[in-house]
Amino acid sequence: MEELTFVQQVQQFATNHVVMVVAWVALFVAVIFNFYKSATSKIKVVDNAQITQLINKEDAVVLDVRSEDEFRSGHIIESVHLFPSDIKQNKTHTIDKYKETPLVVVDGNGMTAQSIASVLAKQGFNKVYALKEGIAGWRTANLPLVKKHK
């Protein structure tokens, strides 16, 4: 029996394990796409320490995009509250004065802040950030929150 060349071995493996090969190729493409997307993104994801630095050193404005009840139950001091639907409909007149100021988008858990931040960047906000784990991460780190009463 003759030995198979490396190329023949790869072809045989790919033939016998089509699903695994397709999964690995898809994963590779997804990683490359994600890397490209983050490298070309106009927004930056920041952690708790970085947002604190932005607030203290660059007078960053915190934009909280959670529901009214969530905002009332605890938010970062001096946060501006705006609904994602208003941002998507370009109803940003309350924050338009911050187009050249660092603007940090904060949500509940960090899942929607990036997409909202991307919308703001497309609307002309030049220094847009998203808080990595949202208010949940902020709370976990025992950082201060203020409550707004009705």
Output the pLDDT for position 134. 96
Burial 67-102, CB ≥16 within 10 A → b, else e: eeeebeeebbeebebbbbeebeeeebeebeebeeeb
The whole-model pTM stands at 0.74
The alpha carbon torsion through 128, 131, 132, 138 (nearest 10 deg) reads 170
Helix spans in the chain (H): 6-16, 18-40, 48-58, 68-73, 84-88, 113-122, 134-140
Output the pLDDT for position 1. 54
21-71 per-position pLDDT tens digit:
999 999 999 999 888 876 667 789 999 999 999 999 999 999 999 999 999
110 Rama sector, left if φ>0, alpha if ψ -120 to 50, beta otherwise:
left
> What is the spatial distance between Cα 131 and Cα 129, in angstroms, rounded to a whole number?
7
- pLDDT of 150 above 90: no
Output the pLDDT for position 149. 61
> Do residues 83 and 144 make contact, with C-beta atoms less than 8 angstroms apart?
no
Number of Cβ atoms within 10 Å of the Cβ of 120: 26
- CATH fold, domain 43-141, is Oxidized Rhodanese; domain 1 (3.40.250)
Output the pLDDT for position 37. 74
Q: 103-106 and 128-131: which strand pairing?
A: parallel
- pLDDT of 81 above 80: yes
- pLDDT of 18 above 90: yes
CA count, 13 A, side-chain hemisphere, 149: 0
Q: Domain boundaries in the chain?
A: 1-40, 43-141
